[in-house]
Amino acid sequence: MKRSISTRNIFLGIGLIAVVTLTGMNVYSLFELHETTIEAAEENKRNQIDEFANQLRYRFASPFFGLRRFDMKTVENHYLKKGTFPEKFHRQLTDAFNDPLFSDVYWSPHDLDHCMDSTLPIYRYDSENAEFKAVESVSDIVCEGIGLARSRSRALSSEYVHSYRTSFDTHRSLTVSLINLRENRVVGHITLLIDRDYLVNQIIQSQLQETFGNAEQSGVVLWLRDWMAGEVLAVSDTTYAYTGHSDQHQVRQRYTDLPDNWILNAQLLDSPAIAASDTSLFRNLIVLGTAVIALFGALIFMYITAKRERELAQRQAGFLANVTHELKTPLAAMQAAGENISDGRVADGERLKSYGTHIYNETIRLRKMIDKLLDVARIDSGQSIIQKSPQHLDQLVESWFRNHYNYVTSRGFKFHLNTEDRLPTTMVDVDHIETILSNLVDNAIKYSGIKKEIAIEVARNGKWMELRVTDRGVGISHTAQKRIFDKFYRIEDSMTARTKGHGLGLSIVRDLVHLHEGDVVVESSPGSGTTFTARIPVVSTAAPAESPAMSKPESIALPAKKKQPQAEPG
């Protein structure tokens, strides 16, 4: 037996571990999926920010891509001969020259420093006539732009690969140095002054808003800052102020080759994709939680049911052994008494009477036990027949009370009956009601200690007729109350151990009350007695016709009636 208990426990343990493990794995996968979704969403935003920075680079660099196919030696010769760029070359640059991003364009046809030597020629682009015109002097910005381009080109002179190089002087100018690859030397510099306002407001600000716009939708806010001046130049969503908080530096995009004191800061917010992933995670966790609770519930339910069934089987086996023993004992006693009488060994009247009483009592015991067994067998096989007839329950109970009064009081009990007046008729099976009463009163007798008092009550409670049997006996603990109606269940205490029984009486009571579409409940507390209430539905509200014979006080405690045949309950 122990083995089967531990096997069941092991299986329950395995089941619980499996549920916990599977749940853990599922929760882990859900969180991992959630993390991956968030990471993918963030990665996507980072790519968008990268892309944005590249677009700006492209905006600056793209007008000059076509210069690669020109041989700058030819360009230089053409310029030296005619004072203008070759037409194709000029056309290539027209877009850049006319781009409002550049406020002025200068051309210095040599790799010398005009700002050091003002005799060196330098030209400014006249967009109206589409030609370069010589100027006397130029601003410092032009000089610094050319100076920077010269030093950078010179530093890389051994690595010239393309026929031009672009150099930025922060956000102020862009200088394109034209390189004669054949002779490995710079032939001149075209310096384009950057219109900062146009760049910030018309290009960056508008592109930021166009690409990222409403931060709640795009899930990202970008600020373009001049970190040296500590100034915010542009923002993708103007409702978000730049505070310098670390959150706002989640992504930092430097423009190393472009305006290098400018920096693009980005803060990643919870985008709709992340919010959707949060909701889906929450929903999945709820579904998983419910499934796990249901699974746990089912496992524990199965465990408890299996345990109950095992206990029932144990009790049934014990019951069979008991019954066999209890059937044999009275039979043996009756056999011996019968033998003695038939052999003529017992002749005198007193002894004959005592043998007769003995046989009579043993027969009663046998009958009671066989009745109970038959009741159980009938109910179990669904053969229990109920023959209802309209009855006045109070009269029925009173008649039973009168018949058993002497038996109960002879055992030292005070026995009362209380019935309400003018109770309606009820559809009941008379035999079943007697069985119910017998079992309940029999128990009240068996499980009473020194306070020997039993009361039966019949009363109406709304649509129910209630039949109550109360004793002042040992009482029943709250836990045991849940199980006393189970078949073969007996409370494991010293009182029950001392009394005879098989745990069938209350199960029979409950089944018979159920056959009447009623219910039976117990109220009890250990040490202060027990009340069993059997409720049966009222079918007629008509009061019984009052007959002088049956008219009675509300409460009766009958004196013993000598001539009345006395019966044990059951």
Smallest gap from Cβ 368 to ligand ADP, in A, equals 11
Q: Do 341 and 351 meet the contact criterion of CB atoms below 8 Å apart?
A: no
Q: Which two three-digit tokens encode residue 528?
A: 């202060």
Smallest gap from Cβ 438 to ligand ADP, in A, equals 11
Q: Do 467 and 533 meet the contact criterion of CB atoms below 8 Å apart?
A: yes
Smallest gap from Cβ 489 to ligand ADP, in A, equals 6
CB atoms within 10 A of CB 395: 18
**Between residues 258 and 512, which has the closer beta carbon with respect to ligand ADP?**
512
Among the residue ranges 219-227, 259-267, 363-371, 495-503, the one whose residues contact ligand ADP (CB under 6 A):
495-503
Of 427, 491, 521, 567, the one binding ligand ADP by CB under 6 A? 491
105 conformational bin, left if phi > 0, alpha if psi -120 to 50, beta if neither = beta
Smallest gap from Cβ 473 to ligand ADP, in A, equals 5
Among the residue ranges 277-285, 297-305, 373-381, 499-507, the one whose residues contact ligand ADP (CB under 6 A):
499-507
Which residues, other chains included, contact 148 with Cβ-Cβ below 8 Å and sequence gap of 6+? 167, 169, 175
CA distance 146 to 192: 10
Of 72, 220, 465, 474, the one binding ligand ADP by CB under 6 A? 474
Smallest gap from Cβ 380 to ligand ADP, in A, equals 15
Smallest gap from Cβ 408 to ligand ADP, in A, equals 13
Q: In what order do the strands lie in the sheet with 220-226?
A: 231-235, 220-226, 262-268, 251-254
Smallest gap from Cβ 394 to ligand ADP, in A, equals 22
- Strand 131-134 and strand 123-126: the pairing is antiparallel
Of 456, 506, 513, 538, the one binding ligand ADP by CB under 6 A? 506
Q: Do 187 and 85 meet the contact criterion of CB atoms below 8 Å apart?
A: no
Query: At which residue do the structure tokens 């001392």 appear?
Result: 498
Please identify the residue of the shown chain whose CB is closest to the bound ligand ADP: 501
CB atoms within 10 A of CB 307: 14
Smallest gap from Cβ 474 to ligand ADP, in A, equals 5
What is the number of helices (H) and of strands (E) in the chain?
14, 18
Smallest gap from Cβ 490 to ligand ADP, in A, equals 4
CA distance 325 to 172: 114
List Cα–Cα distances, 113 to 158, 163, 433, in angstroms.
21, 21, 126
**Between residues 72 and 484, which has the closer beta carbon with respect to ligand ADP?**
484
Query: At which residue do the structure tokens 């209380």 appear?
Result: 418
**Between residues 274 and 441, which has the closer beta carbon with respect to ligand ADP?**
441
Contact between 496 and ligand ADP (CB under 6 A)? yes
Contact between 266 and ligand ADP (CB under 6 A)? no
Contact between 188 and ligand ADP (CB under 6 A)? no
Considering only residues 290 through 349, tell me which ones interact with ligand ADP, judged by CB under 6 A.
Answer: none
Which residues, other chains included, contact 142 with Cβ-Cβ below 8 Å and sequence gap of 6+? 104, 106, 122, 173, 191, 193
Q: Do 535 and 513 meet the contact criterion of CB atoms below 8 Å apart?
A: yes
CA distance 476 to 526: 5
Contact between 93 and ligand ADP (CB under 6 A)? no
Smallest gap from Cβ 483 to ligand ADP, in A, equals 8
Of 432, 468, 502, 535, the one binding ligand ADP by CB under 6 A? 502
Smallest gap from Cβ 1 to ligand ADP, in A, equals 22
- Strand 251-254 and strand 262-268: the pairing is antiparallel
Which amino acid is located at 173 in the chain? Answer: S
List Cα–Cα distances, 492 to 135, 305, 477, 488, 496, in angstroms.
118, 20, 11, 12, 7
Considering only residues 42 through 81, tell me which ones interact with ligand ADP, judged by CB under 6 A.
Answer: none
Smallest gap from Cβ 484 to ligand ADP, in A, equals 4
Considering only residues 391 through 450, tell me which ones interact with ligand ADP, judged by CB under 6 A.
Answer: 443-444, 446-447
Of 15, 501, 537, 544, the one binding ligand ADP by CB under 6 A? 501
Which amino acid is located at 424 in the chain? Answer: P
**Between residues 371 and 420, which has the closer beta carbon with respect to ligand ADP?**
371
Of 63, 145, 503, 570, the one binding ligand ADP by CB under 6 A? 503
Considering only residues 443 through 462, tell me which ones interact with ligand ADP, judged by CB under 6 A.
Answer: 443-444, 446-447
- Return the half-sphere exposure (C-beta side, CA atoms, 13 A cut-off) of residue 313: 7
**Between residues 71 and 493, which has the closer beta carbon with respect to ligand ADP?**
493
Of 505, 518, 569, 570, the one binding ligand ADP by CB under 6 A? 505
Task: Tell me the number of residues near ligand ADP by CB under 6 A.
Answer: 21
DSSP assignment of 90-132 equals HHHHHHHHH-TTEEEEEEE-SSS-TTT-TTS--EEEETTTTEE
Of 176, 204, 476, 534, the one binding ligand ADP by CB under 6 A? 476
Of 170, 236, 507, 533, the one binding ligand ADP by CB under 6 A? 507
Contact between 513 and ligand ADP (CB under 6 A)? no
Q: What is the rounded end-to-end Cα distance, in angstroms, of the chain?
A: 36
CA distance 31 to 291: 18
- Return the half-sphere exposure (C-beta side, CA atoms, 13 A cut-off) of residue 61: 15
**Between residues 12 and 366, which has the closer beta carbon with respect to ligand ADP?**
366
**Between residues 358 and 446, which has the closer beta carbon with respect to ligand ADP?**
446
CA dihedral 500, 533, 383, 439 (to 10 degrees): 20
Smallest gap from Cβ 530 to ligand ADP, in A, equals 4
- Strand 453-461 and strand 414-419: the pairing is parallel
Contact between 490 and ligand ADP (CB under 6 A)? yes
Smallest gap from Cβ 497 to ligand ADP, in A, equals 9
CA distance 186 to 241: 46
Contact between 504 and ligand ADP (CB under 6 A)? yes
Of 166, 170, 530, 533, the one binding ligand ADP by CB under 6 A? 530
Smallest gap from Cβ 317 to ligand ADP, in A, equals 16
List interacting residues with ligand ADP (CB under 6 A): 443-444, 446-447, 471, 473-474, 476, 484, 489-491, 496, 501-507, 530
